[in-house]
Each structure stands twice: as structure tokens, then as C-alpha cells.
Structure 1
């Protein structure tokens, strides 16, 4: 096994080595069920099995790539790492509150913008999922400068902050939620935040560059690999469709429900 990132048969880097039947160039990292290196020799070990491969596909979020997760051996080309570091990746968390009923509808409310009492604190967007037929659920979107209130806090504390703002806006006590869910993307080492944005010094060309293959063999997908829908779930999905078509060499792919496989 090599640690230099070169093929033991040719002495060249995987990106520049022409693929041969049975060879592999596999993007791997410190993820559950994955190995901890990329190999470029006749086969690779994966969950106890050895599989040949000619193309690899990375779906690591931009925050993980900024932290060198997974570790690419050899390193990605400089123009690729430059785009990774130029793009911004912030903190954006959500607090979802489920209630017995959509009490806010009685006040004539639906989607809301809540302003905390502190003048220096940013507003929060609250989306009414009941308006979309998903039941009596409010989802509070908390932006970068306010996410410190959620960092390391238990879900009950995050819920109390939102219900306190709702009570102040209603002028009456807010009912207790029956269920609470809080994201923690910033604390997750395999995401390190959310979502991608284009700061000064970067441009839309950077995410588009991240969506192009390295040497035609290492593919990338994710919301950060295209500029049309940067930061959105549908942007991530369409990037996956794009790479599936590239991988299969087809102009279309069929989408359907995943099924359990033995």
C-alpha cells in the first residue's frame, strides 16, 4: 500500500493515470464504512469487499472540503482548492416546532418575520408548514449572527427562545410544542456549517468550477457545485442528477424511490 498518492505500477498520480480495466481511483475519507485513503491500484477494500472502479464521486459539503475532509491524496489541483477557500460557508440553523393545532392561523398569520426585543439581534424567519399541508409545524430559520444562541444548547432552550418571540408577537402565551427538532450543522464535523455563498473575492465561476470533474474521473456533487441554485436542496439534487448522467454517459436518468438491497 502506498502513502505517496502514486500508482505502484506506473509511479504517476491517479488523476493523470489512464484507467485500465480493474484499476481504481476511489475517493475515500474518514467516514463510517469508508477507508481512510484514496487508492490507485488494481482494487480497493470497501466494507470487506474488493471492487474495481474507474471513477470516483465526492459529495462532501463545502465546509468539510474546507477542513480537508476527506483528505485527497494526491491533493486536488490548486485551482480547485482555491475555489473551495474563496467561497463562503456560514452558519444557518433551523428550529422546527410541532403543535397540536395551527394556533397562529386564528390570528390570521402564516409565514412570519420575528424581531427579538434586543435591537442588536437579527430577525428570524418563521415558515408555516401547515400552509403547505404538512400539519401544524413552524420552522424558525436562524441566521449566522443569531446561531450562537443555539450552539451547544439543548433543544428545549432553542424552542423556548422561539416560543418567547412568538408570545411577544401574539401578545399572549404561546402553546407548548409537542415535538422539537433543531439542526446542528455547524457542530457536525462532516458539514461544518451551512450553506455556501459567494463573498467578495469569489464569483459564480467558483461553484461552477467545483462541479467539473478532475481529469474526467473524480466527480463532485452538492449545492456548492453549481451557481444556479447555490445553497438550496434542489441545487444539490440537480447536481446529483448531473453527475449521474455524466457517470452513466446518458442524457437522462430515471428517478425513483430507493429500495432495500441485500
Structure 2
């Protein structure tokens, strides 16, 4: 079923149009980065990483939220499940096909961004040497973050009866998961004593339950060529893979028990 869903995705004109739009935005980075008088390279890297992260986020949410909900809403899932295919195989095939499409998309966009940065840097060479190994690691972390979001939206889609529920909740979890680390550190710092115990308990709950997306952010290190602690980054990679597998397991478990009529 994996190749069957891949063929379906390849026929989607939306993916081609979306890829073209994101690539066109990246091609405008050298022009926009020239508005910075002395930090052309830094601004180009920042915009490229932001474009990669946002485009991967939106595509992951759309693929995860639309896939299961569309099949259930149109009753296509009844035809698929009438075949000698288990539900868990169906969900894993959906995730696998979506993950391959998402990976191919980020790979192409990442190549375009890698070509754009040297062009922008040639206008006003930076005093800092650009570290390509950090750039590649940043792209890997963006890819893992997008896979985690894909698994989250797929899990929510396995219980949803509308498209907007997994889409909105996935977006809200992403926004909340990006600030829980800062909120946790602030409340447990020297200024945290002035806040109530209930507020700190709620923040701690969100900190430990929601995925910590700040672990996948290497923007400062990539932009300013700072030293990277590869031990911490390998832990972030393991954290992302573990969380993704857990969400995929939850999606399979929930959809396996869902009543479909």
C-alpha cells in the first residue's frame, strides 16, 4: 500500500505548485538580504532556515491531517480495509508515503537554499566563515521536527471527524512546544518565585507532555557560525525519533479501535 499512496501523492498538483512557490520564495532571498548593509549572509541564512521550517511545518500538518480524515470522510477507507490489509498496515503506509513526500520536498528545498546562500554572501562577504556542517545538521533537525509534526497530525486525524481539528491542534501544539523551554527556564529562575504554584505546575505539565520543539532550533549556531555541542544534538535526534515512533504507535492503536461505518 505504500507505493499505492505514493502514486496518489505524485498525481497531486498541489505538491508541485507548493514546491514551486517555496522555491520561488527562496530565490528571492539574495535580493531581500541586500537590504541588510553588513549582515547579508546572516540574513540570508536566517530567511532560508525560516522558509525551510515553515514550509516543512505546513506540509507536514496538511499531509497528516488530510490523509486519514479524507479517506474516512469519503468512505475510501472501507474499500481499502475490505482488502486483506490490517488497519495498522494501512496507517503505517499512510505515514510512510507522507514521510517520503515530506523528505523529498525538504531535500529539494534544502538544495535550493544551499545554492542561494553563497549567491547572497557574494554581495557582501561576511567576516564569519559559513560552517556547512552546522547547516546540514540544522536541516536534519528541521526534517526530524517535520516528521514529528506529521506523526502528531496523523495521530489526531485518526480520531478526528473534521479536517480543522487535527490542523488547528497540531499548529497550536507546535506553537506551544516552541516556548515551553523558555517558560520553564524563566519560572524556575530567580524571578519564578513571584508566580503562583499553580502556574508553575501548569507550565511544568506542558513542558513534560508537549514535544519540545526548541531542541530542533539551530538558527543562532548556523547564522553566526557558533560552536555546536554535537552530544546535545544527537540527544535531540534521539528525542525526536522516540517521540515520532510513540505518536505513530498511538495513531495505529487509536485507529485500530475506531468504529468506521
In terms of fraction of residues, the more helix-rich structure is: 2
TM-score relative to the length of structure 2: 0.22
Which protein is bigger by CA-based radius of gyration?
A: 1
Which structure would you say has the larger RCO, counting Cα contacts within 8 Å and 6 or more residues apart? 2
